[in-house]
Structure 1
Amino acid sequence: MYVQELEPVAGSLGLSALVATLPLLIVLVLLGGVRVKAHLAGLTGLLAAVAVAWLGYGMPLEQTLSSGAQGAAFGLFPIMWIVVNALWVYRMTVRTRHFDILRRSFGRLSDDPRVQALVVAFCFGALLEALAGFGAPVAICSVMLVALGFDPVRAAVVSLVANTAPVAFGAMGTPVVTLAQVTGLPLDDVASVVGRQTPLLALVVPLVLVGLVDGRRGLRETWLPALACGVAFAAAQFAASNYFSAQLADIAAALAGAGALIAVPQARRPAAEPVRAAVLTGARSEELDEKDPGREVARAYAPYALIVAVFSVAQLPAVKDWLARSTQTYDWPLLDVVSADGRRVTGNIFTWPVVATGGTLVLLAGIGTAVVLGVHARVAAQEWLATVRELRYALLTVTAVLALAYVMNLSGQAATIGHFVAAAGAGLAFLSPVLGWFGVAVSGSDTSANALFGALQVTAARESGLSPELLAAANSSGGVLGKMISPQNLAIACAAVGLAGREGDLLRKVLPWSAGLLLVMCLIVVGQSTPVLGWMLP
């Protein structure tokens, strides 16, 4: 049995915390300073975490390696299992050109570029975030806006800023699933609190977007459609994450936001020519004028309808219980860890939800998609393998980061840092979203930031008397605002619209919005930690 120590280095909490932060510092410096590729930075940080656990904390080497192996296993299943299957569905729509039909369908909803920005970047971007995540929404939405006639810089900025509110529930809930796993908190509890924070961003972001597209005139003339879109998006995200399914939160929000937007008569009016001339400074793609049969348009929307249907059926009590019975639980080999106060840690047990997991449900929806779109089984299998190849570095990065997180959590490194950080007291509520924001800004992933800092936030919360669920959720909610300034996302946006090498220009345009919205989130979390907004929490 390995008993975690909080002060293994010279009996000092400060020195122990300094040593414990070395793996995190190495990852952040390699990513943000040296610009090493994410998978190499993750592997280097993992080696550092193993060394600190073994040599600094005295964790037996076999238990250290076993804890890392469990983290890597969780990174592959269910985390990347969700991402691979979700991206596979998207690739099949591209292969059959139904994605192009979907894009043309959006282009015909309105000729007002301000409304088009909301439909494409905010609503459809959220749908892509729900389905794929990992930079796909920024790349695809930027290209779609350029095809509609947007200037490339404006298209990239709008897509980056729009990719905020849905991130915490992206890739079928992967960030919150990871957060729940590394913190040991129930998924429903974590998702519920996140669902009472990020919807508040959704109320603001559509208004910011129309301002970015057309300045004060855009706000003055299209504030009502933007507000209707934001309110519907926020309400659906809140309802799904709190009362239905965290995995469906973004899909429900995207569909509700788009529906509310188009329902406002003002959104369907033709735009004044001076507006179009001022905003659409690029060349509009002639492909958008192609006519598509209604049957093909319905098939283009079918994959998303199938995902909603499969997840909805999975939430029925009888089906949910049947799926849960397939879940396997194992004693993880070579791992026997107790905390400093003598409690057995959750890492000793490994739970394998064979069927009752988002990735398997998306796989079932993907099989249905292949049937509806007429994709031959051989071609569908080829696309699945191509998806794995496309994500090979992401697979390595996520498994390395999750392995690092598990080593730090099970060896006691995260607990040491958490106890040290708890000295911030009430100020911790303000700093908690900043930590998540910094983690995503550097790593480009809310999932990675939750894996790295989730357990630390919970430990600090318990030591300072704050709600663990609140600070864990704040890590994810603050993190979504770092996505638009992450080097990874900036590079993706520039590459998508032909602005390679101009990442600095985009950063200067989106940084004020990232910092300003982060401040808003910090104030929300501070309010929720006091009676002022404490009533918002479940």
Structure 2
Amino acid sequence: MFTANSTAVGGNLALTAIVALIPILYFFWALAIKRMKGHIAGLSTLLIALVIAIIAYKVPAGIAFMSATQGAVYGILPIGWIIIASVFLYKLTVKTGQFDIIRHSVLSITEDRRLQALLVAFSFGAFLEGAAGFGAPVAISAALLVGLGFNPLYAAGLCLIANTAPVAFGAIGTPVIAMEGPTGVAATEISKVIGRQLPFLSVFIPFYLVFIMAGFKKTMEVLPAIIVSGVSFAITQFLSSNYLGPELPDILSSLVSLFALAIFLKFWKPKSIFRFKSEQEIAATVAAESSSNHRETYTGGQVFKAWSPFLILTGLISLWGIPTIKLALTGHYAGTNIVLKAVNVLGQALTFVPAVPFLNNKVANGAGQPVPAVYKLELLAAAGTAILISALITKYIVSISWKNWIATFGETLNELKYPVITIASVVGFAYVTNVSGMSTSLGMALAKTGSVLFPFFSPFLGWLGVFITGSDTSANVLFGNLQKVTATSIGMDPTLALAANSSGGVTGKMISPQSIAVAAAAVGLVGRESELLRFTIKHSIFLVFLIGILVFLQNNILAFMLP
């Protein structure tokens, strides 16, 4: 049985952490400087991680390679499956002309790109994060923005940045709930502290999004709308996280923000309509199109029909996220409801958890106990399946033939083959770093920053964890106990450190390799992932510094803010 050693290189933590940094630095170099295609960067990073795990960390080759396969399978299902189904649904609406009506309906609220970004990237994206997570919010909202006329790079980058505010409470509060197990701290208590950190970010993100798009002067032109969007989201996020728990903050905050801004825009308009510089070159076309859009009228029924695929998607994803239904979808429901019992039978038939050869019970945890390792294939419970069912229902709504429906699905699979390879390889890399102890070495090195600096660096642990794993949930499980133990030893409130891990983690989501791959796939930037990383990395570092400063102040000066 293999036991990870966080000081495997010469018994020295600092030296071991430096070695553990090599694949991460290589990945940044490969994408940001060398500008490799995503799947090549991902595969080569995985290969380097395997070599370091086997040579430096003394991981048996079989364990190292099989942990990579476990991660790769998880990268394909559920993550890759969500991207395939999301892009497929979007393509169906485009091919049948329904997206033209969707575009018109958004333009009828506002033709201003700044306000469209707030409605779609910030509010609607946050709703999808709360309901599903795992890449769905960026994939769907970015595709919607591209359909509205946004530059693909801007659409993907803005959606990645907008997705910062809701990540900690994503997928019905999963990241916070997951932290309770390994740390023993109640999820409701962690939720309260996160709810006293992220609302500050939630107020700032809408302003920051528009500032990135348009600059300070143009941002001030829509400041009233930014305030409505951000403040309504932040207040709801604070109240729901502190008084309802971690499950509903994203869903409630996003809906309140979305409706508040849409209603506000019925009574208030910006002085000028903002479009991107690239659009100025086709100003005549845009003007003609806008004029045409104003002349073109659609009935409420037509608009409802056009939006119905995404309304059905929203309903099904929300349904898939309800804990009781999720139990049935995975074949673990033990209640008496007849419908759920029938779903449970199907869920059992479509759930497979085979043990990972040469890895299952071959790695010891911190307590010296063997860790089970399985390929988790929950075919019915995967959010991508809910989206595919939405696409199946959409076939009848938009009246597309089976031949064209299947052909569109085939096109989608062909377009996304390289992004799926990228996602599989980077998630495989994450699993290798976890099994070998590389991520623990990096975390312990950061934890050595001392009683004065650790509160500031505490969010950086979460940021690093999300970059490596692509998931705030995984980062919380990975570093939660380390945060608690370190905080207790230096006299810091352990709950504050746990919340900092999750709050800091949200800022790492936009540069996580799998998030970059998902966003690039959704907007047709396959092979140009490097451009997306270069777009987001400076914003990620800036935002994690803000969280670090806030946690430092909450630990020292603003302790009254904590529950």
For Structure 1 versus Structure 2, the TM-score category normalised by the shorter chain is 0.7 to 0.9
Give the counterpart letter for 2:267 in structure 1: R
- Post-superposition CA distance 1:200-239 (Å, at most 9, x none): 32322334456665855863x6444322222333456678
1:333 to 325, 337, 357: 357
Tell me the CA shift for residue 178 of structure 1: 9.2
Tell me the CA shift for residue 81 of structure 1: 1.6
Tell me the CA shift for residue 315 of structure 1: 5.0
Residues 279 and 141 of structure 1: CA distance in aligned 2, closer, same or farther (over 3 Å): closer
Tell me the CA shift for residue 102 of structure 1: 0.8
Mapping of 1:113-262 within 5 angstroms? 115-116=115-116, 118-119=118-119, 122-123=122-123, 132=136, 137=141, 141=145, 144=148, 160-161=157-158, 163-167=160-164, 197-208=197-208, 213=214, 215=216, 219=220, 222-234=222-234, 253-262=253-262
1:491 and 1:361 mapped to 2: Cα distance? 22
Are 2:310 and 1:304 aligned?
yes
Give the counterpart letter for 2:415 in structure 1: E
Residues 48 and 222 of structure 1: CA distance in aligned 2, closer, same or farther (over 3 Å): closer
Tell me the CA shift for residue 493 of structure 1: 13
- Post-superposition CA distance 1:449-494 (Å, at most 9, x none): 76997776446525523557435423432225659xx998999999
Residues 127 and 316 of structure 1: CA distance in aligned 2, closer, same or farther (over 3 Å): closer
Asked if structure 1 preserves the Cα contact closer than 8 Å seen for 2:85 and 2:388, the reply is yes
Give the counterpart letter for 1:294 in structure 2: G
Matching residue of 1:149 = none
Matching residue of 2:59 = 59
Tell me the CA shift for residue 297 of structure 1: 0.7
1:406 to 416, 420, 431: 431
Aligned positions, number: 508
Give the counterpart letter for 2:49 in structure 1: A
1:255 and 1:52 mapped to 2: Cα distance? 46
Mapping of 1:484-495 within 5 angstroms? none
1:179 and 1:380 mapped to 2: Cα distance? 39
Matching residue of 1:430 = 456
Residues 213 and 143 of structure 1: CA distance in aligned 2, closer, same or farther (over 3 Å): farther
- Post-superposition CA distance 1:420-460 (Å, at most 9, x none): 222013534433545776899xxxx8964769977764465
TM-score of the superposed pair, with normalisation by structure 2: 0.73
1:117 and 1:7 mapped to 2: Cα distance? 46
Which of 522-531 and 424-433 deviates more?
A: 522-531
What RMSD, in angstroms, separates the aligned Cα atoms of the two structures?
4.7
SS of residue paired to 2:357: coil
Asked if structure 1 preserves the Cα contact closer than 8 Å seen for 2:5 and 2:57, the reply is yes
Residues 454 and 92 of structure 1: CA distance in aligned 2, closer, same or farther (over 3 Å): same
Matching residue of 1:524 = 550
Mapping of 1:11-160 within 5 angstroms? 11-110=11-110, 115-116=115-116, 118-119=118-119, 122-123=122-123, 132=136, 137=141, 141=145, 144=148, 160=157
Structure 2 stretches of 5 or more lacking a match? 333-347, 488-493
Give the counterpart letter for 1:376 in structure 2: S
Residues 378 and 189 of structure 1: CA distance in aligned 2, closer, same or farther (over 3 Å): farther
Residues 25 and 269 of structure 1: CA distance in aligned 2, closer, same or farther (over 3 Å): closer
TM-score of the superposed pair, with normalisation by structure 1: 0.76
Asked if structure 1 preserves the Cα contact closer than 8 Å seen for 2:179 and 2:480, the reply is no
Asked if structure 2 preserves the Cα contact closer than 8 Å seen for 1:82 and 1:359, the reply is yes
- Post-superposition CA distance 1:149-201 (Å, at most 9, x none): xxx8xx9879845652325768x958997999999869x95995877655532
Asked if structure 2 preserves the Cα contact closer than 8 Å seen for 1:421 and 1:460, the reply is no
Matching residue of 1:477 = 506
Asked if structure 2 preserves the Cα contact closer than 8 Å seen for 1:139 and 1:492, the reply is no
Asked if structure 2 preserves the Cα contact closer than 8 Å seen for 1:85 and 1:363, the reply is yes
Asked if structure 2 preserves the Cα contact closer than 8 Å seen for 1:433 and 1:474, the reply is yes
Asked if structure 2 preserves the Cα contact closer than 8 Å seen for 1:110 and 1:269, the reply is no
Matching residue of 1:461 = 483
2:508 and 2:449 mapped to 1: Cα distance? 20
Residues 7 and 127 of structure 1: CA distance in aligned 2, closer, same or farther (over 3 Å): closer
Are 2:380 and 1:343 aligned?
no
Asked if structure 2 preserves the Cα contact closer than 8 Å seen for 1:236 and 1:256, the reply is yes
Mapping of 1:354-365 within 5 angstroms? 354-365=379-390
Structure 1 stretches of 5 or more lacking a match? 147-151
Residues 366 and 217 of structure 1: CA distance in aligned 2, closer, same or farther (over 3 Å): closer
Residues 90 and 111 of structure 1: CA distance in aligned 2, closer, same or farther (over 3 Å): closer
2:97 and 2:516 mapped to 1: Cα distance? 30
1:179 and 1:42 mapped to 2: Cα distance? 28
Tell me the CA shift for residue 28 of structure 1: 2.3
SS of residue paired to 2:161: coil
Residues 132 and 389 of structure 1: CA distance in aligned 2, closer, same or farther (over 3 Å): farther
Give the counterpart letter for 2:368 in structure 1: G
Asked if structure 2 preserves the Cα contact closer than 8 Å seen for 1:244 and 1:315, the reply is no
Asked if structure 1 preserves the Cα contact closer than 8 Å seen for 2:510 and 2:516, the reply is no
Tell me the CA shift for residue 409 of structure 1: 0.9
Asked if structure 2 preserves the Cα contact closer than 8 Å seen for 1:71 and 1:405, the reply is yes
Tell me the CA shift for residue 526 of structure 1: 3.6
Asked if structure 1 preserves the Cα contact closer than 8 Å seen for 2:71 and 2:431, the reply is yes
Residues 216 and 489 of structure 1: CA distance in aligned 2, closer, same or farther (over 3 Å): farther
Which of 114-123 and 102-111 deviates more?
A: 114-123
Asked if structure 2 preserves the Cα contact closer than 8 Å seen for 1:310 and 1:365, the reply is yes
Tell me the CA shift for residue 276 of structure 1: 4.6
Residues 4 and 313 of structure 1: CA distance in aligned 2, closer, same or farther (over 3 Å): closer
Give the counterpart letter for 1:287 in structure 2: E
Asked if structure 2 preserves the Cα contact closer than 8 Å seen for 1:138 and 1:489, the reply is no
